[in-house]
C-alpha cells in the first residue's frame, strides 16, 4: 500500500511542480470562478433590490448556485485537464511502462482535482462574503454533503471524458471544458426542476446535481436538512461512478489493444 501511495504522490508531485513553475496556470484556477461570482453577485444584488420581499433568499439561491456549480465544474475539469497535461507532454508512454496502476493514476488525478477545485472556489466564496455579504458556510454541515456530491459528480463526468479521449484521442479534448456546461440546463442550478418540460425533468432527475440544488434551495429557504434529496444524489452518484469506472476500464484496455497510449497525442 505504501508503494501505491508513493506512486499516487509521484503523479501529484508532477502536477504540483508544473503549477509551481507556471503562474498563468495558477491564475487560471481562480480566474473563472471569481469572474462568475462578480457577474452573478451584482446581478443578484440588483434583482434583490427590486424585490419587495425575499431578496436575501434570492441572493442566496443565485450565489449558492454559482458557487456550488463551480465545485462540480472545477472538480470535473481538474481531473480531465490533469489527464490532458500528460497527453500534451506526450508522457503517457513513460507513465504506463512504470508500475503505476490505472486506478492509481485516477486517484492522483482526483487528488489534483480536489486541490484545483479548492484553489478556484475558496477565493470566490470569500469574494461573495466580502462583496455581497453572502456566507455560504452559514449553511452548516449540509454544505459539506452537498459539495461532496457535486465533487463526486465531477469525477464521474471526467472519467467519461477521459474515456472518450482514450477512445478518440486529443480530438476529444474540447469535451474537458464543455461537457458539464452542456449539462447545466438539466442541473437545475438556478431554478426548480419543476419549471423544466417533462422530458427535461426526467433527464434532470437522473443527475445528482438537480437533487443537490433542490436540497440547497430547501436549506436556504427554511433551514431544513434535505435528506431525501441527499439520498437521491448519493445513490445516483454511486450508480454513475460505477458506470463511468467500467467505461474507463474498458477504454483503457481498448487503448492498450490499439496502441493508443503511445500515439494519443498525435
Partner 1 sequence: MDAIRVTGLTKRYGEVLAVDGLDVVVPAGSTVGLLGGNGAGKTTTIAMLLGLLIPTAGRIEVLGHDMAHDRFAALARMNFSSPYIALPHRLSVEENFRVYGHLYNVPQISRRIAVLAEQLDLGDLLKRPAGDLSAGQKTRVALAKALLNTPDVLLLDEPTASLDPDTGDLVRTWLERYRAESGCTILLASHNMAEVERLCDMVLMMKRGRIVDRGSPQALLARYGRDDLEEVFLDIARDRNQGVAP
Position 135 contacts partner 1 (CB under 8 A) = no
Three-point CA angle 8, 11, 16, nearest 5°: 120
**Contacting partner 1 (CB under 8 A), which of 89, 135, 178, 224?**
89
Dist. CA 101–CA 43, nearest whole Å:
47
Specify the length of the chain in residues: 266
Position 261 contacts partner 1 (CB under 8 A) = yes
Q: Residue 80: which residues within 8 A CB-CB, separation 6 or more?
A: 158, 161, 162, 165, 175, 176
Position 167 contacts partner 1 (CB under 8 A) = no
Q: State phi, psi for 226 to the nearest 5 degrees.
A: -85, 65
Q: State phi, psi for 3 to the nearest 5 degrees.
A: -60, -45
Position 170 contacts partner 1 (CB under 8 A) = no
Minimum CB separation of residue 92 from partner 1 in Å reads 8
**Contacting partner 1 (CB under 8 A), which of 194, 197, 259, 266?**
259
Position 97 contacts partner 1 (CB under 8 A) = yes
**How many residues bind partner 1, per CB under 8 A?**
32
Minimum CB separation of residue 110 from partner 1 in Å reads 17
Using CB under 8 A as the binding rule, the residues of this chain from 10 to 29 that contact partner 1 are 10-11, 13-14, 17-18, 21-22
Q: Residue 187: which residues within 8 A CB-CB, separation 6 or more?
A: 69, 72, 204, 207, 209, 210, 213
Position 90 contacts partner 1 (CB under 8 A) = yes
Applying CB under 8 A, the residues found at the interface with partner 1 are: 3, 6-7, 9-11, 13-14, 17-18, 21-22, 85, 89-91, 93-101, 253, 256-259, 261-262
Amino acid at each position: 500500500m505504501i508503494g501505491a501511495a508513493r506512486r499516487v504522490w509521484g503523479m501529484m508531485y508532477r502536477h504540483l511542480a508544473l503549477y509551481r513553475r507556471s503562474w498563468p496556470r495558477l491564475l487560471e484556477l481562480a480566474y473563472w470562478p471569481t469572474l462568475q461570482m462578480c457577474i452573478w453577485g451584482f446581478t443578484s444584488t440588483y434583482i434583490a433590490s427590486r424585490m419587495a420581499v425575499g431578496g436575501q433568499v434570492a441572493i442566496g439561491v443565485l450565489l449558492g448556485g454559482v458557487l456550488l456549480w463551480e465545485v462540480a465544474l472545477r472538480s470535473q475539469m481538474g481531473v480531465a485537464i490533469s489527464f490532458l497535461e500528460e497527453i500534451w507532454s506526450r508522457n503517457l508512454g513513460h507513465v504506463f511502462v512504470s508500475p503505476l496502476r490505472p486506478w492509481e493514476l485516477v486517484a492522483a488525478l482526483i487528488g489534483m482535482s480536489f486541490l484545483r477545485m479548492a484553489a478556484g472556489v475558496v477565493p470566490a466564496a470569500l469574494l461573495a462574503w466580502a462583496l455581497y455579504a453572502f456566507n455560504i458556510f452559514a449553511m452548516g454541515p449540509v454544505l459539506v454533503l452537498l459539495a461532496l456530491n457535486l465533487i463526486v459528480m465531477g469525477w464521474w463526468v471526467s472519467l467519461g471524458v477521459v474515456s472518450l479521449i482514450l477512445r478518440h484521442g486529443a480530438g476529444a479534448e474540447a469535451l474537458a471544458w464543455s461537457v458539464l456546461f452542456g449539462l447545466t440546463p438539466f442541473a437545475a442550478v438556478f431554478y426548480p426542476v419543476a419549471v423544466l418540460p417533462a422530458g427535461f425533468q426526467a433527464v434532470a432527475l437522473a443527475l445528482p446535481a438537480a437533487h443537490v440544488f433542490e436540497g440547497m434551495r430547501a436549506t436556504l429557504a427554511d433551514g431544513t436538512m434535505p435528506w431525501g434529496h441527499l439520498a437521491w444524489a448519493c445513490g445516483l452518484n454511486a450508480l454513475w461512478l460505477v458506470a463511468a469506472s467500467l467505461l474507463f476500464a474498458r477504454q483503457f484496455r481498448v487503448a492498450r489493444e490499439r496502441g493508443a497510449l503511445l500515439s494519443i497525442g498525435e
